[in-house]
Amino acid sequence: MSVNAAFLRHFRNRRFLSKMAATLCVKLLPKQGWLPLTQSVRHGSKAVTRHKRPMHFIKQKLMAVTEYIPPAPAAPPGAYPRETKSVQEETPLMLILKRNLEKVFQDCKMIAVVQDSSSSAEDMMSLRHRLHKHDIKVKFFPNEVMRSFLNNSIYCNMAPLIFGPTVLIVSNEPKVKEMLKTLRGSPQMTLLGACIENSLLSAEGVLSYSKLPSVTVVQGELVSGLTMMTSRTASLLQRHPAHLSALLQQYVKQQGTDATAEEAT
């Protein structure tokens, strides 16, 4: 009996809950033909001014070109280590080499800077021997010594040429043609520039300088031109009176022939 009673009680509870749910649904759901309790009302369209107006493409380009680009923020102080300039003291050997280099620039009228591209000792000896035939010498100085001397002298514009393995080809007289002819036989030696008679020249300038005639040829041409001008002046001075007298005689003859012709008529 206890089991049947529990079952009946459970069945009655379920039936009661179903009836209660049905009544609630009927009350909440709207009936046919009725309006809902809450109705959404849509208002008319209003002018919205928050939208961006269209911009002409030329103005867009102008705005893009003239747009301000802020500079990159500078590094805060102390972010990078301080640059310490190391002052290297000149040794007695460097002072002696600088003194010798200064003497070379004072005595020699041609000082050429040549870059040595890994030439062997035999090639360098052969080059020095061929240059020595024309009284041209090869000097070796460390780059530190040459830069230290050039930076404090009137030849400071030659300092950029001193880079890497370089040698100096010097001579008391500007023998440019002989130097270029000798360097053609050594492809590992490249001419960078030269100081010829206190004038700094590039490699192309040295080549143009070599095509100029020598001083003796120029002096001979000048003397021959002056003598030719004086001889022409003398001939012109002698020619003018004779030419004038011949013209006057011709004029007199023409006047006489004209007068006889008028009398005949």
Contacts of 134 (CB under 8 A, 6+ apart): 171, 175, 178, 179, 182
- 172, 173, 177, 179: CA torsion to nearest 10: 0
> CATH number of the domain at 92-210, out of 1.20.58.340, 3.50.50.60, 3.30.70.1730, 3.30.460.10?
3.30.70.1730
Other C-beta atoms closer than 10 Å to the C-beta of 195 total: 21
The whole-angstrom separation of Cα 139 and Cα 146 is 12
148, 159 Cβ separation under 8 angstroms = no
**Top-confidence residue, 48 or 208:** 208
For the stretch 34-87, pLDDT in tens is: 555 555 555 555 566 677 788 898 999 999 999 998 888 888 877 777 766 666
Any idea what the Cα angle at residue 74 is, between residues 70 and 76, rounded to 5°? Answer: 145
**Top-confidence residue, 239 or 166:** 166
**Top-confidence residue, 86 or 223:** 223
The whole-angstrom separation of Cα 195 and Cα 110 is 6
What average pLDDT does range 1-26 have in this prediction? 60
User: Is residue 26 predicted with pLDDT exceeding 60?
Assistant: no
Residue 195, strand partner residues: 111, 200
Contacts of 79 (CB under 8 A, 6+ apart): none
Q: How buried is residue 40: exposed, middle or buried, by Cβ count under 10 Å (0-12/13-18/19+)?
A: exposed
pTM of the model: 0.52
The whole-angstrom separation of Cα 73 and Cα 70 is 9
What average pLDDT does range 213-229 have in this prediction? 76
State the pLDDT at residue 113: 92
